[in-house]
Amino acid sequence: MNKLKLNYTSLSFLPILVCIPLGYQLINNIHFGGFKLFQEFLISAFNPKIDNEIIITVIKRLNETILIGFFSWLVSIIFGAIFGIISSNIFYKIFNIPNFFYRIVRFFLTIIRSIHEVVWGILLMQIYGINFSIGIIAICIPYIAVNSKVFAEQLEIIDYKSFESINQINAPKFSSLLTLIWNPIINTFKNFGLYRLECSIRSTVILGLFGIGGIGTSIFLSFQTLNFRELWTYLWSLAILIIISGLIFKKIKFNTTNKILSIFFISVFFITILFSFSYFLYFIFNNNFENFNSVSSLFKSSSNLGLFDFLKLILETIILSLLSTGIAISLPPLVIGIFNNNTSKIFIKIFAFLLRLIPTPVILLTLLTFNNPSVSLAALTLGLHNAGITSKLLFTNLDSQDKRNYIAMKSLGISKKTSWLLGLFSQQAKSYLAYCAYRSDIIIRETTIVGVIGSVGLGWQLQESLSSFAWQEVILVLIAYSSIAIVGELINGKIKNSLT
C-alpha cells in the first residue's frame, strides 16, 4: 500500500523533467534587449497609475467586462445545466430513449467544447465584425458544452437504486426526472458556479485582448504602448473585481426553502432562456454576413498549407501541451514542498494569484521582452498560468487535510521536507493527479491563445489563415485542433478513471 502511494507521489514530481529541454531552448533564446522593460514592468506593479481619468476608464471598461462576463456566465450555466441533463444517463433511462442518441449528444458537445472560446471569438469576429454580443456568444458556445459536462458528471453519480424506487412508483416521467436531478443540479451550481463565473470573467478579459472590448482591450492597448503603470491599474482593478465577485457569490444563499428567493431564481431562469432564444432568432435573421458571403467562398479559397508544414504544426501543438502540462503538474508541489514555511507560503500564494490573474498573452508578451519566441516560451507561459490554478487547488486540499501524520513524523525527527512529502502530500497525490488530468484538457485548448501571440503551433496558423480569408485552411486547422483536444480528453478520461 505504502509503495503505491509513493508511486503517485513520484508521478507528481516526474513531469518536472520537461524543464530540461525547455530550459535548454530558453537559455539559447535569451536576449538582453528588453531587460529594462521587464524591470519596469515589475516595478510598475507597486506603482500603478491612479488619477481621475484612468479611474473613469477603469469603471467604464470594467462595466463592459462584467456585462459580458456575467451574461455569458448566466446563459452558459443555465443552458449548461439543460444540456447536462440531456447528456446524462438518467435522462435516457427515465424516458427510455435508445443509447444511440446519448452518444450523439455527448459527441456533439465534445466537439463544441474542444475549440477554445478565443477561436470562436476570432472566428465570429472575422465573420460578423467586432460587436459586443459576439463576445457573449463566443464564450457561451464552448462554455455551455463545458458546463454541461460538469453537470452531467454530477448527474451520473445519482444512486441507481433511488432511480429504481421512483421508477417503481410509476410517477410521471418529468416529475421523476425533476425529483432525481434537483439536488445534484443545485449542488453543482453551488460548487462550480463561482468558479465558472471567474472563468467567464477571465475569458472575457482574454477576448478583450483580441479586441472585443472591456478591460482586456485596455490591458492590451496599454501593453502595446508600453504603459506599464496603466497596465497594472487595470490588472489590479481586475483582481479586485474577481475577489469581490467571489465574496458576493459566497454571501448569496441558494436557499430553496425561501419562497421569494425561489420565485426570483425561477424567473431569472426562464427569462434567461426566453431572452436567449429570442436573441438567437434575432441574430440569425438580422445579421449581414459581411465577409462570409456564402458557403461557396469556402470552396473558392485555396489552401497553401503543405502537408509537411501542417503536420509540423500539429506536432508543435502537442509538444506545447505536454510541456505546459508537465510544468502545471510538478511545479506547485515542488515549490510548496521546498519552501515549506509560513512566510514563503504567503509569497507563493500571492505569486500564484498573480499567475492566475494576469492573462496568458500578457505573461507571454512580458517574457518575450528577454526571450525569443519559441515553443518552450509558450509552454512556460501556459504552464505557469496553469500552475497558478493547480497550486490553488493543492493549497486548499492541503490546508483542509488531517495533519496528524505530518506532525507525528516531524516529532520522530524526520526532516520537515520529508514529513511534508510523506505525511501530507502523499495522501493528496492521487486526487491531485486526477485534477491535473482534467486540467490538461483545458491546457490543450488554451494552446491556441499562446499560439496566436507566441507564433507557434496551430493557433498561429489559425490567425494567419483567418486574416487572409483562407477558409479551407481555417477549417483544416479547426479539425486538427478539435481532434487533438478530443483525443486528449479521451486519454485524460482514462487516466482520471484509473485514479478515482
- Does residue number 302 form part of the binding site for another protein (CB under 8 A)? no
The neighbour count for residue 389, using CB atoms within 10 Å, is 18
Residue identified by cell 510548496 is: 336
Q: Which of 495, 345, 492, 323 minimizes the C-alpha distance to 420? A: 345
Residue 35 or 174: which CB sits closer to another protein? 174
- Does residue number 33 form part of the binding site for another protein (CB under 8 A)? no
Task: Locate 325 and state its grid cell.
Answer: 502540462
What distance, in Å, lies between the first and last C-alpha atoms of the chain? 16
Stretch near another protein under the rule CB under 8 A, chosen from 106-114, 183-191, 217-225, 483-491: 183-191
Stretch near another protein under the rule CB under 8 A, chosen from 136-144, 179-187, 188-196, 477-485: 179-187
- Does residue number 175 form part of the binding site for another protein (CB under 8 A)? yes
Residue 265 or 279: which CB sits closer to another protein? 265
Residue 167 or 405: which CB sits closer to another protein? 167
Q: Looking at the DSSP assignment, which residues form a beta bridge with residue 30?
A: 371
Least distance (Å) between residue 432 CB and another protein: 27
- Does residue number 183 form part of the binding site for another protein (CB under 8 A)? yes
At residue 30, what are phi and psi to the nearest 5 degrees?
A: -70, 145
Among 161, 250, 251, 404, binds another protein (CB under 8 A): 161
Least distance (Å) between residue 271 CB and another protein: 18
Q: What is the DSSP letter of 225?
A: T
Q: Which of 440, 444, 464 minimizes the C-alpha distance to 452? A: 464
Size of the site for another protein (CB under 8 A): 26
Least distance (Å) between residue 181 CB and another protein: 10
- Does residue number 176 form part of the binding site for another protein (CB under 8 A)? yes
Query: How far out from the chain centre does Cα 255 lie?
Result: 28
Least distance (Å) between residue 89 CB and another protein: 17
Among 1, 20, 157, 169, binds another protein (CB under 8 A): 169
Residue 168 or 342: which CB sits closer to another protein? 168
Task: Locate 17 and state its grid cell.
Answer: 523533467
- Does residue number 3 form part of the binding site for another protein (CB under 8 A)? no
Among 51, 53, 159, 399, binds another protein (CB under 8 A): 159
CA-CA distances (angstroms) from residue 72 to 56, 119, 133, 139, 418? 24, 16, 9, 6, 46
- Does residue number 96 form part of the binding site for another protein (CB under 8 A)? no
- Does residue number 171 form part of the binding site for another protein (CB under 8 A)? yes
Among 165, 372, 467, 500, binds another protein (CB under 8 A): 165
Q: What is the DSSP string of 342-359?
A: HHHHHHHHHHHHHHHHS-
Task: Locate 280 and state its grid cell.
Answer: 438567437
Q: What is the DSSP string of 39-84?
A: HHHHHHTTS----HHHHHHHHHHHHHHHHHHHHHHHHHHHHHHHHH
- Does residue number 180 form part of the binding site for another protein (CB under 8 A)? yes
At residue 371, what are phi and psi to the nearest 5 degrees?
A: -150, 140
Task: Locate 29 and state its grid cell.
Answer: 533564446
- Does residue number 197 form part of the binding site for another protein (CB under 8 A)? no
Residues in region 405-424 near another protein by CB under 8 A: none
Q: Which residues contact 149 (CB under 8 A, 6 or more apart)?
A: 84, 87, 109, 113
How many residues are recorded in the chain?
500
Among 84, 184, 213, 359, binds another protein (CB under 8 A): 184
State the burial class of residue 251 (Cβ atoms within 10 Å of its Cβ: 0-12, 13-18, 19+): exposed
Least distance (Å) between residue 98 CB and another protein: 18
Q: Looking at the DSSP assignment, which residues form a beta bridge with residue 371?
A: 30
Least distance (Å) between residue 266 CB and another protein: 8
Least distance (Å) between residue 393 CB and another protein: 25
Among 28, 39, 47, 179, binds another protein (CB under 8 A): 179
- Does residue number 273 form part of the binding site for another protein (CB under 8 A)? no
x/- string (CB under 8 A) for another protein, residues 225-264? Answer: -------------------------------xx-x--x--
Q: What is the DSSP string of 324-338?
A: HHHHHHHHHHHHHHH
Residue 36 or 190: which CB sits closer to another protein? 190
- Does residue number 10 form part of the binding site for another protein (CB under 8 A)? no
* H runs (alpha helix) in 413-456: 416-419, 426-454
Among 2, 168, 286, 288, binds another protein (CB under 8 A): 168
Q: Which residues contact 298 (CB under 8 A, 6 or more apart)?
A: 471, 472, 475
Judged by the rule CB under 8 A, the positions of this chain that interact with another protein are 159, 161-162, 164-172, 174-176, 178-180, 182-184, 187, 256-257, 259, 262
